[in-house]
Structure 1
Amino acid sequence: MSSAFEVRGGNRLKGEIIPQGAKNEALQIISAVMLTPEKVTIHNIPDIVDVNLLIELLGDAGVKINRITRDKCEFQADDIDQAYLQSADFKKKSGRLRGSVMIAGPLLARFGKALIPKPGGDKIGRRRLDTHIIGFEKLGARFNYESDDNYFRLEAPGGLKGTYMLLDEPSVTGTANIVMAAVLAQGTTTIYNAACEPYLQQLCKMLNSMGARISGVGSNLLTIEGVTSLGGCQHTMLPDMIEIGSFIGLAAMTQSELTIKNAGVESLGIIPDKFRSLGIQLEIRGNDIYIPSQESYEIQTFLDGSILTISDHPWPGFTPDLLSIVLVVATQAKGSVMIHQKMFESRLFFVDKLIDMGAQIVLCDPHRAVVIGLGRQHPLRGITMSSPDIRAGVSLLIAALSAEGKSTIQNIDQIDRGYQYIDERLRNLGADIKRV
């Protein structure tokens, strides 16, 4: 029986909140420890299900793990159990965890073979592995798909060789996986149309501090000169920008005065401006974001007066992970906005729950929704609902905190996968939320 959140909405929150380490960065950074036999120390690890499962999986594979505190951990991959990485137990465990795909690049680079499960995780539409597999193939790996147990088996008996490649899409995990494979390949690898998200920049910085030679970091053209081995390092993860965006939206919807501490402001890109375009006032104070209590906020129009459209785009565009949050926040604004979710075809399927709560939303198709903001004339009302994916889960939680009456959110394992102790941290700000 999975647990649920019981939320009584309508409280104004107040105080300071510190964002967790970035989930999407963590899965790449923690996989990269497999590239060296030396000790790697990682700071600001988020204490969430997806990350803890990956750490456990590495431990099962023979990585020595010393979790000094929940957010600081030492890893040493000097005695990897190769047999375990081909075993049924590994297949079963890695198949449950979407992030396990990320250890394929390091394993292929260092040991010449890897298994990749067909992805699980969020129900937000197809998530292809083509970019990963084609990239590995270009570096000289061969692959077989084993349909009986849903696995890709990769082998590079002659080692990996550097090459030029143009990715079919700037996949963040795909780019990261290929980069991790290429750092130990012979010769030079050039990746064009590479993802340039902060997560990936962090991975490249970490690899360079281990002795890799990656240039073009932050651009969509990466050049990687292969080296024969990598050493240990210390690495601190960025704060989670999705959590930061979620807290900005939460403050606006609940008319709360919040300060988001240590927000890694220089890595947020366009995110603060997108929330400002919804009429949300926020001030950058050093590395903190201050959101004053606002009675109302009004969605801006484009300069010619036409209705605002907010769509997702590869970095430095707006991240798809925050579109669900923007959509929810727009329901209580004044004015209308079109939300266009280009990357995933079922990320908007949670809007029916918001409509049940009294929001005015027209779902045009699986990718587009028009939100007609009611300027708080009709507050949302609490209902019982279930969370289909991590980001929708938090969007529904934010809706519930601003709604009248009691809401019950089921399937909150989805929320726990991405947000650490979220109920406890919100209670500290004055939210009425309990886990049942």
Structure 2
Amino acid sequence: MHCFEIEGGHKLSGEITPQGAKNEALQVICATLLSKEEIIINNIPDIVDVNNLINLLGDIGVIVKRLGKASCSFIAENINMDYLQSQEFRTKASSLRGSVMIMGPLLARFGKAYFPKPGGDKIGRRRLDTHFIGFEKLGAQFHYNPSEIFYSVEAEHLKGTYMLLDEASVTGTANIVLAAVLAQGKTTIYNAACEPYVQQLCKMLVSMGAKISGIGSNLLNIEGVESLGGCEHRILPDMIEIGSFIGMAAMTGSEITIKDTAYDELGVIPDAFRKMGIQLERRGDDIYIPEQDEYEIETFIDGSIMTIADAPWPGLTPDLLSVFLVIATQAKGSVLIHQKMFESRLFFVDKLIDMGARIILCDPHRATVIGLNKETPLRGTTLTSPDIRAGVALLIAALSANGKSTIQNIAQIDRGYQNIDERLRKLGAKIKRN
């Protein structure tokens, strides 16, 4: 297995451009199954999860052509539905959680869809009830084979309806939207997720001929159409990577410019970093982070300890809480990190404690971090990446630490971050892949 070897304690400098958004890419690539016509998608990140999904669509029968380093053409004219019953499909699809979103378009277009239990990060329970309850409300029949952990949905005709989602699931909302755009009549989805990824998916579907209103809100109205055409779509920059680079600059005391961030789509992310005492400046669509010797966490107005918590959009995305936890270890002051959505995402803190961080894991969802104010740097050690986001948080910690660190299981990091070692070396990072 490959690993990263990192010599920490070096300042970085220069410019870095974020990749296309991983979570958006998974949604819009699945949407190509809705049309027989050519769909071109630009700014596709070159990462394991996305490449695996593209290969899976090719196996199903989608004609995929690489038009450039980050652009692909998709033509889903002839789909082999029998392949979805094969053991090969079960093996490939189960390794990638995002591929569950092929179900909505296949159900809408072909009246049936099949899927194994999906994999993905080991960050706690991630149920799929919202997806299947939504399909059922549209008129589909749901079947579950517990012995094989295999799901199927079938419907002669999907019919629009009103539904109130029990949770504002991003992938659940996306999957239901992908099914509803070809359903008969009007579908209303209340408590819909409204993350930029879902907004981008809806905008792409509208450009294909779908009728969707309420984009950007938690109340979506969809008028079903008979068919959808082709389009060309560009994926947003990855906000999680942007946040990771902001945290990396702060932890290493570096001066960095993050290029082409689509700043207006970042929501509360910049202000959340400012609450941690990190200076950042908007320059057009770029973000400039100056060199800082220290950064101090704010308190609430009454002087109580700051809490950084995740929430459905427009709240703070849970994918960045691992980064906030790491940068807090070298801040001045204390903070409570409250990860509400996933009960296993904070368990990587034991690795940070081994590096010298002062962290109290209160329970599976909360950790209190007492900042070292860079007076006592973290120390290098051997680390293991448990999931994508914790992996990059440990990478940031290693870049700031005194001495050498080894990060194992970097396949997890590669799932979400494109050639991260090569890009960081251009900033001056002492990192190599073995």
Asked whether the two chains share a fold, i.e. TM above 0.5, the reply is: yes
Identity %: 73
Residue equivalent to 1:117: 116
Superposition map of 1:227-238 within 5 A: 227-238=225-236
Secondary structure of the equivalent of 1:419?
Answer: coil
Given that 2:124 and 2:344 are in contact with CA atoms closer than 8 Å, whether structure 1 keeps it comes out as yes
Secondary structure of the equivalent of 2:333?
Answer: strand
One-letter amino acid matched to 1:213 = K
Give the distance between the partners of 1:78 and 1:148, measured in 2 at CA: 33
Match 1:174 to one of 172, 175, 191: 172
Residue equivalent to 1:29: 28
Match 1:276 to one of 271, 274, 277: 274
What is the TM-score of this pair, normalised by structure 1?
A: 0.99
Give the distance between the partners of 1:389 and 1:91, measured in 2 at CA: 22
The offset of 1:87, in angstroms, is 1.7
Give the distance between the partners of 1:294 and 1:40, measured in 2 at CA: 45
Give structure 2 stretches of 5+ with no counterpart: none
One-letter amino acid matched to 1:125 = G
The offset of 1:371, in angstroms, is 0.4
Residue equivalent to 1:371: 369
The offset of 1:385, in angstroms, is 1.0
The offset of 1:171, in angstroms, is 0.2
Residue equivalent to 2:197: 199
Residue equivalent to 1:252: 250
Match 1:294 to one of 282, 292, 295: 292
Residue equivalent to 1:211: 209
The offset of 1:343, in angstroms, is 0.3
Secondary structure of the equivalent of 1:247?
Answer: helix
Residue equivalent to 1:324: 322
The offset of 1:303, in angstroms, is 1.0
Give the distance between the partners of 1:300 and 1:128, measured in 2 at CA: 35
Superposition map of 1:15-164 within 5 A: 15-156=14-155, 158-164=156-162
Secondary structure of the equivalent of 2:151?
Answer: strand
Residue equivalent to 1:355: 353
Q: How far does the alpha carbon of each residue in 1:227-261 deviate from its partner, in whole angstroms, 9 at most, with x for none?
A: 00000000000000000000000000000000000
The offset of 1:70, in angstroms, is 2.8
The offset of 1:82, in angstroms, is 1.6
Q: How far does the alpha carbon of each residue in 1:92-137 deviate from its partner, in whole angstroms, 9 at most, with x for none?
A: 1111111110100000000000012212110000110000000000
Give the distance between the partners of 1:96 and 1:146, measured in 2 at CA: 18
Secondary structure of the equivalent of 2:198?
Answer: helix
Give the distance between the partners of 1:278 and 1:232, measured in 2 at CA: 44
Give the distance between the partners of 2:229 and 2:383, measured in 1 at CA: 48
Secondary structure of the equivalent of 2:345?
Answer: coil
One-letter amino acid matched to 2:152 = R
One-letter amino acid matched to 2:24 = E
Runs of 4+ with >6 A deviation: none
Given that 1:117 and 1:150 are in contact with CA atoms closer than 8 Å, whether structure 2 keeps it comes out as yes
Residue equivalent to 2:396: 398
Deviates further, 183-192 or 88-97: 88-97
Q: How far does the alpha carbon of each residue in 1:350-380 deviate from its partner, in whole angstroms, 9 at most, with x for none?
A: 0000000000001000000000001011000
Asked if 1:265 is matched to 2:263, the reply is yes
Q: How far does the alpha carbon of each residue in 1:16-66 deviate from its partner, in whole angstroms, 9 at most, with x for none?
A: 000000000000000000000000000000000000000000000110000
Asked if 1:432 is matched to 2:427, the reply is no
Superposition map of 1:387-426 within 5 A: 387-426=385-424
Secondary structure of the equivalent of 1:132?
Answer: helix
Give the distance between the partners of 2:302 and 2:425, measured in 1 at CA: 43
Secondary structure of the equivalent of 2:163?
Answer: strand
Residue equivalent to 1:311: 309
The offset of 1:143, in angstroms, is 1.2
Given that 2:84 and 2:115 are in contact with CA atoms closer than 8 Å, whether structure 1 keeps it comes out as no
Give the distance between the partners of 2:21 and 2:424, measured in 1 at CA: 18
Give the distance between the partners of 1:377 and 1:321, measured in 2 at CA: 28
Give the distance between the partners of 1:264 and 1:105, measured in 2 at CA: 29
Given that 1:119 and 1:127 are in contact with CA atoms closer than 8 Å, whether structure 2 keeps it comes out as no
The offset of 1:149, in angstroms, is 1.9
Give the distance between the partners of 1:117 and 1:316, measured in 2 at CA: 31
Given that 2:93 and 2:118 are in contact with CA atoms closer than 8 Å, whether structure 1 keeps it comes out as no
Give the distance between the partners of 1:335 and 1:24, measured in 2 at CA: 33
Alignment size in residue pairs: 434
One-letter amino acid matched to 2:355 = M
Give the distance between the partners of 1:30 and 1:88, measured in 2 at CA: 23
Give the distance between the partners of 2:168 and 2:115, measured in 1 at CA: 20
What is the TM-score of this pair, normalised by structure 2?
A: 0.99
One-letter amino acid matched to 2:143 = N
Secondary structure of the equivalent of 2:147?
Answer: helix
